[in-house]
Amino acid sequence: MLKKIFKLMTLTVVFGYILVMVMHTHPFGKPSYTDMDDYFIQNGQEETGSNNIVTSIVFDYRGMDTLGEASVLFAAASGVALAFLEVRNGKRK
């Protein structure tokens, strides 16, 4: 009984906290600081020559991130290939 009450109290506190946090976030589409966004929107097209600002950020300004993503995919495919080729060749049962 005490345990149940304790669980209920914990749940109430956590949900109340989340509710307060959600109510205190700024409205959707109105971020507090927009300096970086404005820079990309104003200069991204001229600097990279690409109409698609999202692509210019993903492949140019933040290319390191995309390189990491491609490496992750490569590692995943290599891992699958390694595991299944070993199973097929009978090295591991």
Contact in structure between 55 and 44 (CB atoms under 8 Å): no
| 45 burial level (CB within 10 Å; 0-12, 13-18, 19+) | middle
CA distance 57 to 61: 5
The yes or no reply on residue 14 touching other proteins (CB under 8 A) is no
Q: Taking CB under 8 A as the rule, which mask of x and - marks residues 31-70 in contact with other proteins?
A: -----------x--xxxxxxxx-xxx-xxx--xx-xx-xx
Q: Decide: is 12 part of the binding site for other proteins (CB under 8 A).
A: no
> Applying CB under 8 A, which residues contact other proteins?
42, 45-52, 54-56, 58-60, 63-64, 66-67, 69-71, 73-74, 76-77, 80-81, 84-85, 87-88
